[in-house]
Structure 1
């Protein structure tokens, strides 16, 4: 019985270490900013259940497009609603954030979407794994907006760079 507790404690320490390494104990930096320039995304639109097979497939396809150098950019998404508030239905544009809309040829089935510059947004940034960051970033945005008495629109932009912090922008009403 004693060995069981020692092994359980050792496993808990290892899991806590991995969680810390992935950034799980870090808190996001949150601020209100005005976007300086537009953000261009190359990808595909999705409207359906969050747990839908096609939703996950679009993320994997964007990763594959990047890995195969079909497009140069940063993994990113624009959400046009809050899935929690919309009953588990998501409206999103999933793909890669690119520098412009003219310097690269798009893969078949891909098209452009733009998040306009000059918008007032709540920006949350966190140096953590893309698997852990979104939950922390969204809760950080919502807590910050509540504290600052800011209304949020239904548009969110996520950016998952290879290096540096993961970022979510939420439009302020």
Structure 2
């Protein structure tokens, strides 16, 4: 019986490691300090409140549903106006999709546009991984780069999670 239990645990561990590798869990983020060259337009909804608020999770799902149903075209993205990892009390965010411009699509009811401005100095972290593991790789990479280069964060973050290609976080610095 003990051998079977050990074998079952071993197979489960190997399967979990393979799944983790498949979603990009063992990859490292690439980090650069750069200046944004063009504005990024988002269509979505603003949120201010606790991350545990019952309205926060459904907001992400409603944006994904709008994309899946063809009511909006773009890639999933968020702007956080405070550090999402440290925002235990209040999260200030804009949840939406990166869109090409502010005129080519009609917005669903309750949606607005936001712009992540051009000309901002940012720490850019990128990784080819699932959106499930990417934030846990990107934010620590940004924190390390900020410490190493002695930069100061302004606590404004743009997260982008395309279906294909690299996920990225842009963290505005002074």
Would you say same fold, with TM above 0.5?
yes
The 4+ residue runs of structure 1 with deviation greater than 3 A are: 83-86
Structure 1: which 5+ runs fail to align?
Answer: none
Partner SS state of residue 55, structure 2: helix
Question: TM (normalized to structure 2)?
Answer: 0.97
Partner SS state of residue 130, structure 1: coil
Match of 1:69 in 2: 70
Match of 1:116 in 2: 117
Partner SS state of residue 128, structure 1: coil
Give the deviation of 1:2 after TM superposition: 1.3
**Aligned residue runs from structure 1 range 1-173, under 5 A:** 1-173=2-174
Aligned length: 173
Q: CA RMSD in A?
A: 0.9
Distance in 2 separating the partners of 1:64 and 1:123: 28
List per-residue Cα deviations over 1:2-47 (Å, max 9, x = no partner).
1111110111000000000000000100000111100111010000
Do 2:121 and 2:172's aligned partners in 1 also have CA atoms closer than 8 Å?
A: yes
Do 1:83 and 1:89's aligned partners in 2 also have CA atoms closer than 8 Å?
A: no
Question: TM (normalized to structure 1)?
Answer: 0.97
Do 1:77 and 1:94's aligned partners in 2 also have CA atoms closer than 8 Å?
A: yes
Distance in 2 separating the partners of 1:163 and 1:92: 24
